[in-house]
A and B are shown apart, each in its own frame.
Chain A
Amino acid sequence: MAYLDITHVEKSFGANHVVKDFNLDIEKGEFVSLLGPSGCGKTTVLRMVAGFETPSAGSISIEGKDVVALRPNQRNIGMVFQAYALFPNLTVAQNVGFGLRIAGVPASEANARVTEMLRLIGLPDLGARYPFQLSGGQQQRVALARALAPKPRVLLLDEPLSALDAKIRVSLRTEIREIQRQLGITTIFVTHDQEEALSISDRVVVMNAGIADQVGTPFAIYNHPATKFVAGFVGTLNSFDATVTDATTGAIRLGDTPITLNKPLNASAGSKIAVALRPEAAQLGRSDLREIALNGRITEVHFMGSIIRISAEVAGTRLSLDTFNRADTPPPPIGTDVEIGVSARDFIVLGS
Chain B
Amino acid sequence: MDQMTTAAPRARRRRNLWSWIAFTLGVAYFVLPLIGMFEFSLRKRRDAYSFDAYTSILGDPQFQQTFLYSLVMSLVTVVLGLLLVLPTAFWVRLKLPAMRPVVEFITLLPLVIPVIVIAFGYIRMFNTSSFLPMTGSIMGTNILLAIGYATLSLPYMYRAIDNGLRTIDVGTLTEAAQSLGAGWLTILYRIMLPNVYTAVLSGAFLTISIVLGEYVFAALLDRPALGPYMVWVGGNKAYEPAALAVIAFAVTWGLMGLIQAMSRLSKHTRVAR
Contacts and interface: CB of A to CB of B under 8 A. Distances in A.
Interface of A: 50-52, 71-79, 81, 83, 85-90, 98-99, 102-103, 130-133, 143, 146-147, 150
B176 A79 contact: yes
B176 A85 contact: yes
A88 B195 contact: yes
B118 to A, nearest CB: 36
21 contacts: A72-B175, A73-B181, A74-B181, A76-B181, A77-B179, A79-B175, A79-B176, A81-B175, A83-B172, A85-B173, A86-B176, A87-B177, A88-B168, A90-B268, A98-B190, A99-B180, A103-B181, A130-B267, A132-B268, A132-B273, A150-B180
Given A73-B180, A98-B180, A99-B181, 13 more contacts: A72-B178, A75-B179, A76-B181, A79-B175, A79-B179, A83-B169, A87-B191, A89-B197, A99-B180, A102-B182, A132-B268, A132-B271, A150-B181
A99 B267 CA distance: 22
B273 A147 contact: no
Contact of A102 (B168, B172, B181, B268): B181
Contacts of B270: 132
Contacts of A86: 176
Interface residues of B, number: 25
Contacts of B181: 73-74, 76, 99, 102-103, 150
Interface on chain B toward A: helix, strand, loop, or mixed SS?
A: helix
A88 B270 CA distance: 11
A82 to B, nearest CB: 9
B10 to A, nearest CB: 47
A50 B273 contact: no
Given A132-B268, A132-B273, A85 B178 contact: no
A78 B191 CA distance: 18
Top 3 closest A-B pairs, CB basis?
A99-B180, A89-B194, A79-B179
A50 B191 contact: no
Contacts of B186: 102
Given A132-B271, A132-B273, A87 B182 contact: no
B179 A72 contact: yes
A147 B179 contact: yes
A298 to B, nearest CB: 50
A73 to B, nearest CB: 5
